[in-house]
Structure 1
Amino acid sequence: MTDDPTEAIGTPTQAERILSGRYRVDALIGRGGMASVYRGYDLTLGRTIAIKILRSDLAQDNTFRTRFRLEAQAASRMAHPSIVRVYDAGEDLDDDGSGGTTHTPYIIMELVRGRLLKDVIAAGPVSADDAAGYIDGILEALEYSHRAGVVHRDIKPANVMIDDDGQIKVMDFGIARAVSDTSATVAETTTILGTAAYFSPEQAQGAPVDARADLYSTGVVLYELLAGRPPFVGNSPVAVASQHVRDAPTPPTQVGDDVPAQLDPVVLRALAKDPAQRFPDAATFREALDAALDGRAPSQRQLTHLTEELYGAGQRARNEVAHTLTQLSSETGTTRTQSGPPVAWVWAAIALVIALIIAVGYWVVRTDPLDLRAADTVDVANVSGWSLEAATAELEGRGLEVTLSSEPSDTVAADIVIGTDPAAGVSLGIGATVEIVVSAGPLMAEIPELEGDNEDAARAAIDGVEGLMLGRVFPQNEPGVERGTVLNAQVGGSDVEPGDEVLQGSSVDLTVATGRVTVADLTGFTIDAAKRILEEELQLDVEVEKDNTCEESDLVTKQDPGVGDVQIDETVTLTHCSGDDDFVDPDGDEPGYRPLQESTALVLP
C-alpha cells in the first residue's frame, strides 16, 4: 500500500482514536516507508479528511518534530488546485506507561478521490499527450510552490495523484525537507524516502538544493512516462544516486516505443547535471514542453550537440556507439553479398570506436575543462537573500540591465531578493536584461466582522476571505447573550479585531455563547443578595415565594431551578420563611398561637 490519501476501502481501526481532541482516526487507507494514512473526520468542522501519522522512530527525534511542524505549517499556507491541501499539523501526546510521554506527529490533509500516477505508469504505456498533460499539472503546482518559496524535494509518481476529474494533485510538500534536514547521509535519507530514482545530482551529493532540483525530478518522471522506466536503475539507492551524479541518460526515444523525437531535447535539458543548464523555472519547462509537442523533431546532429553540451564530449561518443549497436542489431533484413569480410569490418569498426572512447575519456579526465563561452558573456550572480540595493549593484557591475518585480513570500522577508530570471549561473551577453524578484512579504488576510454575529454568519464570513480557515469553536456561558452569538475571535491564541491582518492560511478560533448561564447554590444567602447575583450578574428574572411553615427569616431556603446551567430567559424562584398567621408552633400548640414578645408581656398584680 502507499502512504497517500486516496479514497480507497480501508480497514477500520480497532478502537476509536481521537487526535488532539478533534480529529477522529477511521480506516487505514495507505502505508508507506515514512507514515501511515487514515481516513478521518474533523469533529469541529464536520468534514472528512486524510490523516497522515508519522512513523514512531521519527517521532522520537525532537529536531525532526520541530522541523516537521515548521515545514507542514509552510505547506498549509499553499492553496492551489494542483496541490493536496494541508489543513493542520500537530502532535498528539500520550502517556507511555512508564512516566514518560509519547509524541505522535500528524498532518491533516484534504482527502482526494483518485489514483496515484505510480499506478497509472504500472498499468501500461502512457501516450505522449497524456504524459505531457500529467507533467504540465506537476509543473503548474511547482510554479506556484516555488513562487511561495517552498521546494518540494521529493517529486515522484508516488507523490502525484490524478483525481476523479482528471486534476493533478501533488502531495507531501515540505515533508522531504523535514526528513533530509534531520538525516545524516544519503543512505539514511533514502531509507526514509524510499527510492532514489528521482533524486537530483545535488541531492545525491548532499549539496544545498533549490527549485531546480524539483525540475530535475519532474524530468525523471517525464522520462519514465515516455520510456516506461526511470533513466537510471540499480541494485541499491546508492548505486542509483551515483548514476544521477556521473552518468548521462539515454534519450527516451532509444528506450521506449513510439516516443516523439521532439521530446528528447526537453527531457535531456531537464536532466542536466548542472542546475544552471536546466530550465530556470517551472514556467519555462512548461513552455518548452508545449512547444516541443507542436514542433519538429531535432536532427541527430542537433541531439548529439545538445548531449555534448549537457554531458560532455565523452558522452557523445558513448551515445554514438549505443546508437550504432542499436542499428546493427535491428538490421535483420539486409541482403548479404559477401560471406566473411563484412562481419570483420563491423567488429573492427566497433573496436576502433571503443578505442576512441577510451582516449577521449582519458583526455576529459586529465585535462581542465575549456571555457567555451564567448568573451562578451557573463554569468548571472546568485543574489538570492541579498538586499535589493546590493543585488542591483552586483548585476549592474557585471554589465547587465536590471528590472524589478515583486511577489509574496511566506519564507523570505519583505524587500529581500527571492531570485532572478534568468536564474543564477546562466550565461548572458553583456547588456542583457535580468529580472530581480523581490519578496513583498507574506500573503495576508484581513479579519472580517465576527464578534456579535451568529455562528453561521461568522463561518460564512471566514470562508469568504481567501486564506482564512475556521479553527476551533469554544462554547462559553455568557449572561444575556443569545445562543450561537460570537463572543470573541482569536488567531494563534491572540484576540483579533475586524481589519486586523494575519498570514494567509491562519485558522480563526471562535468563542460562541451557549445561551445559558451557571447558577450557584444560593441557599443561606439573604433574599436581597441572591436577587442581586441573579438579576445584575446573571441577568435572570427572579420571583420570591414565602414559606409560611417556618419561622420568619430573610434567608433563602430553596431555589428553583437548582444548581447548574439554566437558559438565559429562565426565571429563578427563591423561597424564604415568612412566619404568617398559619405558622404552627413547634411545641405542638394550636395553629394561630403566636407567643407574645417578652417586651410586650402583661404583668398581673
Structure 2
Amino acid sequence: MDSLIGRGGMASVFRGYDLTLGRTVAIKVLKRDLAGDNTFRTRFRLEAQAASRMAHPSIVRVYDAGEDLEDDGEGGTRHTPYIVMEYVQGTLLRDLLRDGPVSPEDAARYVDGILEALEFSHRAGVIHRDIKPANVMVTDDGQVKVMDFGIARAISDTSATVAETTTILGTAAYFSPEQAKGDVVDARADLYSTGIVLYELLTGLPPFRGDSAVAVAYQHVREAPVPPSHAHDNSPAQLDPIVLRALAKDPAQRFPSAAVFREELDASLDRKSMSKRQLAAFTDDLYGESAQKQEQTEHTLTQLSAETNLTRTQSGPPIAWIWTAMILLVALVASVIVWVVRMDPWDLRVADSVNVPAVAGMTFERALSEAERAELTVTRRDEPSESVPEGIVIRTSPDPGTAVTPGTTIEVIVSEGELLAAVPELVGLSESAARSAISDATLQVGRITPVNDPEASDGTVLATTSNGREVLPGDELIQGAIIDLTVATGRVTVPNLAGWTIAAATGRLEELNLPVELSDDTSCLAETTPTVHTQSPVGDRPVGTSITLYQCTGEAPADDENDEASADGTGIGTEPEESW
C-alpha cells in the first residue's frame, strides 16, 4: 500500500499497486471495531464477491477481497478485512456539493449516471442500500462512478438500530423510510436515496435534516419534503414531480425501476412545469393524509361491522330496520371523514397563532422576509457547519410548523461555513512536538513516513503534506483535516564505495556528513592512483558514523625488483664494464 487517499466512517482507503497486473488500485481497509465482528466479516466477504461480478462503466470495480492477519498481542489473531478496487481519479459528488447546488443539467447528468449503475445492479439482484454523494465519484472526464456496492448490506445485517447504522454509514440523510423503520428493503430503496441525492444537487441541501439520526429518520417516515423549486430559486419546477415521486413514503408510489426513473428524468426538463394547484394535488396524493384517513375509515367500518354483528336472543325490531340504521351510521361516519379531508387545515388553527415557517436552506435575508410575513420577530445566531454553505439557514428554534403567537421571537441559526485552521510551523520540530502543535491547531496527525536523512537527527520532521499536497506554515485547512509527516530516522544509508578513487569516495562521504578515516592495506599492491580496496561499515547506519576506507600500500617482491632493474640495464645484475 502507498499513501492514504481517503478516510470514511467505516474504512480508510489507500493507493496501492498490483504487481501482477501492473496497475494502480485502491485498497479499502475496514476499521478494527467492524473487523472484530465475525458476522460482519462473513457478510462483507460474500457481498464483496457479489460486487466483484458486476462489470459496468458506471460501477467502481471490485478486484479482490481478503483479510490481513496479525498478532493481537494477547495470543490471538486480529482479522482486518480489505477490498481491492478500481482506482478512479476524480472528485466525490460530496465535494462538488461543498460549493452549493449544481446546475439542473449537471444534476440530471450525475443522477442519470447513478441510475444507470443501479439499473445494471438491480438486474443482477444487487441492492446498494447506501446511495449518497460520498459514494459517487465523478471522474476527470465527467464519467459517473458508483462505489461501495454490497458494503451497506454487510453493515445493515449487523447493526441493531438506526443510530448504530448511522455511526457506520456516516449519515441518515439518505435513508429510505423502510430502512429507517428497519423493514425489509428492495430496489426501490435505492431509488428513494437517489431522489435525495437529486434534491441535494438541485438545492444544495438534503430535504430532511435534524440534530440526530433518529430525528432525521422520523422525517423520512412522517414528513413531506418541500418541493425543490420552493427550497431554491434556481431549481426548475419541471423537476419537482420527479423528485417528489422518487421520495414517496410508500415504495409502491415511487418509480417502479431505475430505467423508468431515468426515462422520466430525461424527459422532464423539456416539459411544462405543473401549476401550483396541480403540484399541490400531486403532493397530496403522495404525502397527504388521505391514505392515512382512508385506512382509518376502513378500520372504523370494520369495527362497526363487528359491533353490529350481534346474535338476537329475543324478538325485536325488524331486520330491515337494523340494516337501515347501520347504513345511516356508516353514511354519517363517511360524511364526517370527507368533511375533514376537504377542510382547509388552516381552519383548525387557533385564530391568534401562526406557524413557524420552514426556512432551512434559505439565505438569512429570505428567511427574515418569510418570518416577517408570518408576523414573527427574528434573532440571528451563527454557528459553523461542514455541510451547510456560509450564509445559509441551518435550522430555526422553535422547529418549523410550531404554532406560536404573532410577534413571537424565533431564533434563526445561520451557517458560518467550515471552520478553518492555520497550519503551524512543523518542519524542524521533533515528532512529539509536531503532534502537539497539530493537535493545538485543531488538526489531526495522519501517516508518519520515516526517511533517512544525513543532516537530521532522529525524529525530526522533514516535510508536511495533506491529501498528497505539500502544506506550509500559514496554509488554511478545514478543522480536523489530516496532516501527514515525513520524519527523519536519524540514520543514513552508507554506499559501498569499493573501486572508487580515494578522493571521490572521501567527497561522497563528506556529502553525507560522515567522518572518513584512511587505513593502509598491505595485502595488495599499491596503485598509481589510490583507490578504495575495502570499506567498513556499509549499509544503514546512524548519522555521524565514522567510515574507514582501506587503500592498497603493499610492495612487490624483491625478485621482481631485480628483474626490472636488469631490464633497464641499471643496478644489480648488470654486466661489468670492460677494462681498457
Q: TM-score range by the shorter chain?
A: 0.5 to 0.7
- Structure 2 residue identity aligned to 1:152: A
Cross-structure match for 2:487 = 512
Cross-structure match for 1:191 = 187
Counting only pairs closer than 5 Å after superposition, residues 1-16 of structure 1 correspond to structure 2 as: none
Q: Is the 1:584–1:590 contact (alpha carbons within 8 Å) kept by the matching residues of 2?
A: no
Q: Distance in 1 between matches of 2:330 and 2:423?
A: 71
Q: Is the 2:498–2:535 contact (alpha carbons within 8 Å) kept by the matching residues of 1?
A: no
Deviation digits for residues 519-565 of structure 1 (CA, Å, limit 9, x no counterpart): 44645654344323312x21112111234543444543334258754
Which of 465, 475, 478 does residue 503 from structure 1 map onto? 478
Aligned pair 1:542/2:489, yes or no? no
Cross-structure match for 2:124 = none
1:403 Cα deviation after fit = 1.0
Cross-structure match for 2:414 = 438
Aligned pair 1:533/2:554, yes or no? no
Q: Is the 2:297–2:334 contact (alpha carbons within 8 Å) kept by the matching residues of 1?
A: no
Where structure 1 has 5 or more consecutive residues not aligned to the other structure, the ranges are 7-14, 75-83, 94-100, 121-133, 162-188, 223-236, 246-273, 275-308, 599-603
Q: Is the 2:156–2:165 contact (alpha carbons within 8 Å) kept by the matching residues of 1?
A: no
Which of 270, 274, 289 does residue 311 from structure 1 map onto? 289
Cross-structure match for 2:92 = 66
Cross-structure match for 2:303 = 326
Summarize the Cα distance change of 1:211–1:24 in structure 2 as closer, same or farther, 3 Å threshold. Answer: closer
Where structure 2 has 5 or more consecutive residues not aligned to the other structure, the ranges are 1-8, 12-19, 36-40, 53-61, 101-129, 223-246, 256-279, 281-286, 571-576
Q: Distance in 2 between matches of 1:70 and 1:346?
A: 69
**Per the alignment, in what secondary structure is the counterpart of residue 413 of structure 1?**
coil
Summarize the Cα distance change of 1:395–1:211 in structure 2 as closer, same or farther, 3 Å threshold. Answer: same
Q: Is the 2:381–2:414 contact (alpha carbons within 8 Å) kept by the matching residues of 1?
A: yes
Summarize the Cα distance change of 1:440–1:219 in structure 2 as closer, same or farther, 3 Å threshold. Answer: closer
Counting only pairs closer than 5 Å after superposition, residues 401-480 of structure 1 correspond to structure 2 as: 401-423=377-399, 428-444=404-420, 451-452=427-428, 455=431, 457=432, 461=436, 468-480=443-455
- Structure 2 residue identity aligned to 1:402: V
1:383 Cα deviation after fit = 4.3
Normalising by structure 2, what TM-score? Answer: 0.52
Deviation digits for residues 117-173 of structure 1 (CA, Å, limit 9, x no counterpart): 6xx6xxxxxxxxxxxxx68x589989xx8xxxx662206686799xxxxxxxxxxxx
Cross-structure match for 1:210 = 207
Normalising by structure 1, what TM-score? Answer: 0.50
Q: Is the 2:465–2:483 contact (alpha carbons within 8 Å) kept by the matching residues of 1?
A: yes
Q: Percent identity?
A: 28
Summarize the Cα distance change of 1:502–1:474 in structure 2 as closer, same or farther, 3 Å threshold. Answer: same
Q: Is the 1:482–1:514 contact (alpha carbons within 8 Å) kept by the matching residues of 2?
A: yes
Summarize the Cα distance change of 1:71–1:510 in structure 2 as closer, same or farther, 3 Å threshold. Answer: farther
Deviation digits for residues 416-474 of structure 1 (CA, Å, limit 9, x no counterpart): 3323334556665431222111112224456577545555x369648956964443232
Summarize the Cα distance change of 1:540–1:20 in structure 2 as closer, same or farther, 3 Å threshold. Answer: farther
Q: Is the 1:400–1:434 contact (alpha carbons within 8 Å) kept by the matching residues of 2?
A: yes
Deviation digits for residues 180-211 of structure 1 (CA, Å, limit 9, x no counterpart): xxxxxxxxx962746979x99x99xx998522
Q: Distance in 2 between matches of 1:139 and 1:425?
A: 29
Cross-structure match for 2:114 = none
**Per the alignment, in what secondary structure is the counterpart of residue 525 of structure 2?**
coil
Counting only pairs closer than 5 Å after superposition, residues 255-274 of structure 1 correspond to structure 2 as: none
Q: Distance in 2 between matches of 1:28 and 1:569?
A: 52
Cross-structure match for 2:463 = 488
Cross-structure match for 2:38 = none
Structure 1, 491-500 or 502-511: larger mean CA deviation: 491-500
Structure 1, 552-561 or 349-358: larger mean CA deviation: 349-358
Summarize the Cα distance change of 1:20–1:450 in structure 2 as closer, same or farther, 3 Å threshold. Answer: farther
Q: Is the 1:561–1:573 contact (alpha carbons within 8 Å) kept by the matching residues of 2?
A: yes
- Structure 1 residue identity aligned to 2:92: T
Q: Distance in 2 between matches of 1:370 and 1:414?
A: 35
Q: Distance in 1 between matches of 2:386 and 2:566?
A: 84
1:220 Cα deviation after fit = 7.6
1:409 Cα deviation after fit = 0.7
Q: Distance in 2 between matches of 1:342 and 1:195?
A: 57
Q: Distance in 2 between matches of 1:113 and 1:315?
A: 32
Q: Is the 1:491–1:507 contact (alpha carbons within 8 Å) kept by the matching residues of 2?
A: yes
Cross-structure match for 1:572 = 547
Q: Is the 1:69–1:89 contact (alpha carbons within 8 Å) kept by the matching residues of 2?
A: no
Counting only pairs closer than 5 Å after superposition, residues 123-142 of structure 1 correspond to structure 2 as: none
Cross-structure match for 1:588 = 560
Q: Distance in 2 between matches of 1:42 and 1:505?
A: 30
Counting only pairs closer than 5 Å after superposition, residues 61-460 of structure 1 correspond to structure 2 as: 66-67=92-93, 105=147, 116=158, 152-154=173-175, 191=187, 193=189, 209-211=206-208, 215=215, 217-218=217-218, 240-242=250-252, 311=289, 319-320=296-297, 322-323=299-300, 325-326=302-303, 329=306, 336-338=312-314, 347-352=323-328, 355=331, 369=344, 371-372=346-347, 373=349, 380=356, 383-389=359-365, 391-396=367-372, 398-423=374-399, 428-444=404-420, 451-452=427-428, 455=431, 457=432
1:494 Cα deviation after fit = 3.6
- Structure 1 residue identity aligned to 2:207: D
Q: Distance in 1 between matches of 2:188 and 2:311?
A: 56
Deviation digits for residues 549-589 of structure 1 (CA, Å, limit 9, x no counterpart): 434445433342587544424332223344x6x3448x933
